[in-house]
Structure 1
Amino acid sequence: MTGIKGTGQSPLSYIDQLKSMQEKKLQSEQKVTGQQELKQEDFLSLLTKQMSQQDPFKPVGNDQMIAQMASFATVDGISKMNEQFGGLNAAMTSNQALQASSLVGRDVLVPNPTGSKSAEGGVAGMVKLPQSLNNLIVRVENATGELVRSFDLGSKPAGDHRVAWDGKDDRGNMLPAGKYQLKVSGLADGKNSEFDVSTYANVNSVLLGNGDGNVMLNLAGFESPIKLAEVLEVGKA
């Protein structure tokens, strides 16, 4: 280890020395062992060097020595705490994935107005109304944005309300399978406004995510998985 010049000068603090030596130590050790962090023995060796090479007329005071040791203890404690949190996070993620596996085959409500229609089915969702409305209109659009169906839900109070489309057009013909978007609007305070719509989708499988602690769900008709935390409601299987 490179010696520390301290004689005749004010001794550097442990943190300052640690920062100045870290880059050189990492470069040399990474070539030999691949090690990329300083350990407790490195601190003790550094502290011994500092004490042996300090100015005898200006020795390091007890308060400064204690401060350096406390700084190391704090850094070491934070490092161990991070490791423990990492293990706890992994355990919680595994537990969430195990619980989420029970959702496979069930319908979940997600904050997306576009739903996937099967050949003989429709699309169901939920609309959130900030206030009561007298004439709530539902418009259904296909993947190209073409209006294929519209119907009136009538008067609804404020709150969450289920929206269900049977998959047919205005003439009663069953439309082909694919993605369809539900749009809900009505007069609020004299102005025509659109309201947030969520739709139901079937859970195909469960993923552990990308190591970020998030449990992901693969949904039928969705190109990308969504986070388990985004699920608003769990429906029937």
Structure 2
Amino acid sequence: MGYVDTTGVYLGQQEQRLAASNSPAKHDTSLDKDAFLSILVAQLTHQDPLNPMEDTDMTSQLAQFSSLEQLTSINKGITTLNDTMSKNDILTAVSFIGKEVKAEGYKVSLNKGNASTIYYGFGETVSSIKMNIYDSEGAIVRTVDLGSKEAGTYQYTWDGKDENGNVLADGQYGVGILGQDLKGDYVMVQTEISGKVDGVVSENGTQFLRLEDGRFINLLNVKEVVNPDASAGDGGGTSGEGDGTSGEGDGTSGA
């Protein structure tokens, strides 16, 4: 008996067999413990009575089966643990909403000429510090000479202007700081940013805190958390910093 294929052509039994033989077979790419056990049972059932499987071979295969079962259980346990940890991380991140945080980062936001504060510090005296500010395409729009600094923590507030004194468009800008120690060797400087958290985003198992100005920081990079009321009137806890004060030669104000 034949049948009509999807194109409306009648196929006989011979054609059916040819069509079936040309159909790609589906094969499993992995072997679970049930399949392993089925193969082992089939092997024992069809072994040659005059040449049975050696005891050592039988023991080896059973040991392999036991190891496979244990690894499967461990894998399920790890998956469950990861799911639990991910949920706990989200709950932890949510608790940051409404709070001011300081974290490792290099992005500053500019809104109507007002830029967010950038924090930086040194473990040793540096003789020269330069700060580069980059636009979204990575081009340097401003270079600021911060002079020399003793060991300590400092803050800087950019005035939102480029090299020619023009106020730049609102948005997010990158910051990079490079210093030189007393020997003239270059020192890379870790920068920190701050802001108020208004949301949480989870991406590929990593939790990010979204700040009110649209910047994102990795939850793992948070260094300090304060209540907004507690931070009122706080100068940022920095010392020896004069870069952001009014009258500074680099044109900044209100650090």
TM over 0.5: yes
Q: How does 1:159-170 map to 2 (within 5 A)?
A: 161-165=153-157, 167=159
* Structure 2 Cα separation of the partners of residues 226 and 116 of structure 1: 13
Is 1:116 the counterpart of 2:106 in the alignment?
no
Q: Match for residue 88 of structure 2?
A: 95
Consecutive unaligned residues in structure 2, runs of 5 or more: 1-24, 229-255
- Equivalent residue for 1:215, pick from 185, 207, 228: 207
* Structure 2 Cα separation of the partners of residues 185 and 88 of structure 1: 42
Q: State TM-score, norm by structure 1.
A: 0.64
Q: How does 1:148-159 map to 2 (within 5 A)?
A: 150=144, 152=146, 154-157=148-151
Q: Match for residue 234 of structure 1?
A: 224
1:84-131, CA deviations, whole angstroms, 9 ceiling, x for partnerless residues? 111111011101110111122334444432311333743322324353
Report deviation, 1:70.
Answer: 1.2
* Structure 2 Cα separation of the partners of residues 182 and 207 of structure 1: 23
Q: Match for residue 105 of structure 1?
A: 98
- With over 3 angstroms needed to count, the CA separation of the structure-2 counterparts of 1:207 and 1:140, relative to structure 1, is closer
- With over 3 angstroms needed to count, the CA separation of the structure-2 counterparts of 1:117 and 1:199, relative to structure 1, is farther
Report deviation, 1:77.
Answer: 1.2
- Give, as a single letter, the amino acid of the residue that structure 2 aligns with 1:51: L
Q: Match for residue 145 of structure 1?
A: 140
Report deviation, 1:57.
Answer: 2.5
| Aligned residues: CA RMSD | 3.7
Consecutive unaligned residues in structure 1, runs of 5 or more: 1-25, 31-35
2:117·2:193 contact (CA, 8 Å) conserved in 1?
yes
Structure ranking higher in helix proportion: 1
* Structure 1 Cα separation of the partners of residues 135 and 58 of structure 2: 72
1:163-200, CA deviations, whole angstroms, 9 ceiling, x for partnerless residues? 22163669x99876433444434442453746334231
Which has the higher mean CA deviation after the structures are superposed, 134-143 or 124-133?
134-143
Q: Match for residue 67 of structure 2?
A: 74
1:112·1:198 contact (CA, 8 Å) conserved in 2?
yes
Is 1:86 the counterpart of 2:104 in the alignment?
no
Q: State the SS of the aligned residue for 1:27.
A: coil
Q: State TM-score, norm by structure 2.
A: 0.60
1:145-167, CA deviations, whole angstroms, 9 ceiling, x for partnerless residues? 322x746464312x6x2322163
